[in-house]
Amino acid sequence: MTPIAGGAALSLAFGFSVLTVVSLILYTRSGDQRLFWVGQRLSLAISFFVFMATFILTYQLMISNFDIDYVARYTSLETPTMYKISALWAGQSGSLLFWLFILSIFATITVIQNQNKHHGLMPWVIITLAVTQMFFLVLTNFVTNPFMPTDADFVVANGNGLNPLLQNVTMAIHPPTLYLGYVGFSVPFAFAFSALMNKDTSSLWIQSIRRWTLVAWLFLSMGIILGGWWAYQELGWGGYWAWDPVENASFMPWLTATAFVHSIIIQEKKDMLRVWNMVLIILTFTLCIFGTFLTRSGVMSSVHSFTASSLGPIFLSFVFVIMIVSFGLMYLRKDDLRSPRKMESFTSRESGFLFNNMVFVVMCFAVFWGTLFPVFSEAVRGTKITVGPPFFNQINIPIGLILLALTGIGPLLAWRKTSKESLIRNFTFPIMGGLIGAAIFLFLGYKGYVVISFSLCVFVTATILTEFARGVKARTNKFNESIVLALGRMVSKNRSRYGGYIVHLGIVLMFVGFTGHAFDKEKEFSLMVGESDHVAGYEFELTNMSEAERANHYAWISELRVTDHLGQFVTHLKPEKRVYFHKNPDVNRRQPHSELDIYSTMNKDIYSIFSAVDNENGIAFIKIMVNPLVRWVWIGGYILVFGTMIAMWPRKDS
């Protein structure tokens, strides 16, 4: 009975989404305020039914109702409750419902928050959000319904269970975080589209979406970082980023969104880049939908799976519709979008921002091309040519370093134009810092990109310190405040500016971590108890090997004693080889999995993988990787989150 209610809720939500669009279009034509209120309420009703459907499916997952196909496919009786809940976004139909669920939360907040604001914009904002909801409701109602009954005429005693790789706390958090980012950009896009419809070229709507954009950007960034963390902790290949299509799917909108976050500052302050900002937000939203398409359609495995998939063409059509309608509307409004002001100088902050934007978009295009090249090559030549990490690294490392340099240059440029004296005064300390850093790194024997990257990190850090120092000095001179008080008040009164600098510091630390990748070392070997081997100056001795049967898996546990080149004890590592669903009589359904153990310090990580076990001879096959500076990537991530939260924290006067 309850599953029927879930399906009915989704159907009602679809019907209400159609009515929302109809009532609000009628309102825009008639001006009858009652129709606007009806439209607002219909929008809330869509969300209400989506919430109902989501809660019903979650409840069915928790009580293991295997009469529902989705529940039987992604959970089993042994699945821990937390992972039964996270199974909501483990499969296709559930994750689409989850997308819709988050979109409905955002739509509800937008409608309630703007009940008495943006009267001119709100009808089209709600229409845009309702059309997006309608698209996902079409998918969840007619293409891949999460409430479909199990495809069998017998009672399913136990479900398939959740993939062991997904039975991880990070993986329970990572998809919702990423989705909050993807979906979050629907709201700025809706405002931008509405501004186009209303020919509203004022910066008022830009102000309104700034916080939404930052919230979505924060979640997208967190989602990407958590994805990297999960890959590093769980997948066992020793890295956090592999330029995998699914990773790229989240990285592309992040790039355009980052460009947008910067360029809206120019529109806010200088009323410039109106067209560019429209392009960026349309691209970001389209790439969010496209990212979901890449992840969910199976297009990346083969072009044939794309044509065979019922989901792919629908997604792709929606992407094309968004682009054609949005860019078509932009073309019609081209006269209204023309900014009254022009760039005055190459050495201005405006041009710095614009240049940084261009580089972000070029990088996005490079990632897009590399990601879809296998699809294009198969479609055109019939042969699938896969583009791997070497291509992405070759293109994106130099672009990334240019962006890092611009992170340092931008804040030092003045608005409109920077005088020669200012250029010398502002750049002296950071450039000296970067050059001294480069000399030291060259002296230490580093070369190539490593020296460039580390020197740029010093340069950008020096820029950030300079900016804080100049701000504090200005306040202490003007208000006679102590340094601590001046620092606190300066950040508090200029949250977006100094929060942004803190984000830049986080990015610098992440670059330190990325650069450490150049020094990675790895070795695979087999050991019996009492034997040892060496990697990167460390000795690894297998001291014990044991077995354990746990609730949902069987494990072989190796114990490695790690000592350094002086023979000093460093740590014990206990990587495991596991077999999930080990009680399943069907051997093919049992899933092997390597549970890693990592010894992490600020300087380096020692990463151990129990690749395989030879039970008969008592041999453990071990892979060890020594990865320098990885922890700085995660520290940088924390600082990025902290900085973004400062930047978006509401001001007292708002």
Partner 1 sequence: MEFIRDYGLILIFFILPVIFVIQPLFLPRIEEEDHILDRGALKRKKLILYRQIKELEMEFDIGNINEDDFHASRTELKQEVSSVIAQLNSK
**Interacting residues toward partner 1 by CB under 8 A:** 1, 4-5, 8-9, 12, 16, 19, 31-34, 36-38, 41-42, 44-45, 48-49, 52, 116-120, 202-204, 207, 268-269, 349, 414-416, 419, 422, 425-426, 467, 470-471, 474-475, 477-478, 493-494, 497, 653-654
Give the residue with the Cβ less far from partner 1, 60 or 286.
60
State the nearest-atom distance from the C-beta of 118 to partner 1, in Å.
8
State the nearest-atom distance from the C-beta of 260 to partner 1, in Å.
19
Give the residue with the Cβ less far from partner 1, 38 or 273.
38
- Assign 3-class secondary structure to 263-290: HHHHHHHHCCCHHHHHHHHHHHHHHHHH
State the nearest-atom distance from the C-beta of 197 to partner 1, in Å.
16
Give the residue with the Cβ less far from partner 1, 220 or 486.
486
State the nearest-atom distance from the C-beta of 647 to partner 1, in Å.
14
State the nearest-atom distance from the C-beta of 414 to partner 1, in Å.
5
For residues 75 and 60, the answer to whether their CB atoms sit within 8 Å is no
Give the residue with the Cβ less far from partner 1, 496 or 611.
496
Gyration radius of the chain's alpha carbons: 27
State the nearest-atom distance from the C-beta of 436 to partner 1, in Å.
24
State the nearest-atom distance from the C-beta of 329 to partner 1, in Å.
22
Give the residue with the Cβ less far from partner 1, 35 or 560.
35
Strand partners, 609: 623
State the nearest-atom distance from the C-beta of 37 to partner 1, in Å.
4
Give the residue with the Cβ less far from partner 1, 261 or 372.
261
Burial of 476 from C-beta contacts in 10 A (0-12 / 13-18 / 19+): middle
State the nearest-atom distance from the C-beta of 464 to partner 1, in Å.
14
Angle at 472 (CA atoms; ends 466, 474), nearest 5 degrees: 100
Closest CA to 234 of 630, 595, 629: 595
State the nearest-atom distance from the C-beta of 114 to partner 1, in Å.
10
Give the residue with the Cβ less far from partner 1, 338 or 493.
493
Angle at 363 (CA atoms; ends 457, 334), nearest 5 degrees: 120
> What are the residues whose beta carbons fall under 8 Å from the beta carbon of 134, sequence distance 6 or more?
14, 17, 18, 21
Long-range CB contacts (within 8 A, 24+) of 444-452: 449/397, 449/401, 449/515, 449/518, 450/515, 450/518, 452/401
Angle at 133 (CA atoms; ends 127, 139), nearest 5 degrees: 140
Give the residue with the Cβ less far from partner 1, 42 or 372.
42
State the nearest-atom distance from the C-beta of 1 to partner 1, in Å.
5
Give the residue with the Cβ less far from partner 1, 12 or 542.
12
State the nearest-atom distance from the C-beta of 490 to partner 1, in Å.
8
Give the residue with the Cβ less far from partner 1, 2 or 394.
2
Query: Cβ atoms within 10 A of the Cβ of 421, count?
Result: 8
In terms of DSSP H, where are the helices of 159-203?
169-184, 186-197
DSSP 139-157: IIIIIS-TTPBPS-SS---
- What is the dihedral angle through the alpha carbons of 21, 26, 27, 32, rounded to the nearest 10 degrees? -140
For residues 552 and 79, the answer to whether their CB atoms sit within 8 Å is yes
- The residue written with tokens 């196909």 in the block is 69
DSSP 389-438: HHHHHHHHHHHHHHHHHHHHHGGGSPSS---HHHHHHHHHHHHHHHHHHH
State the nearest-atom distance from the C-beta of 413 to partner 1, in Å.
8
State the nearest-atom distance from the C-beta of 630 to partner 1, in Å.
36
Give the residue with the Cβ less far from partner 1, 381 or 420.
420
Give the residue with the Cβ less far from partner 1, 49 or 285.
49
In terms of DSSP H, where are the helices of 480-537?
483-493, 495-516
Give the residue with the Cβ less far from partner 1, 9 or 404.
9
Give the residue with the Cβ less far from partner 1, 438 or 486.
486
Distance (Å, rounded) from C-alpha 118 to C-alpha 418?
37
Distance (Å, rounded) from C-alpha 205 to C-alpha 202?
7
Angle at 463 (CA atoms; ends 342, 644), nearest 5 degrees: 80
Burial of 602 from C-beta contacts in 10 A (0-12 / 13-18 / 19+): exposed
For residues 224 and 178, the answer to whether their CB atoms sit within 8 Å is yes
DSSP 545-611: EEEEE-SSEEEEEEEEEEE-TTS-EEEEE--EEEEETTT-SSGGG-EEEEEPEEEE-SSEEEEEEEE
For residues 339 and 273, the answer to whether their CB atoms sit within 8 Å is yes
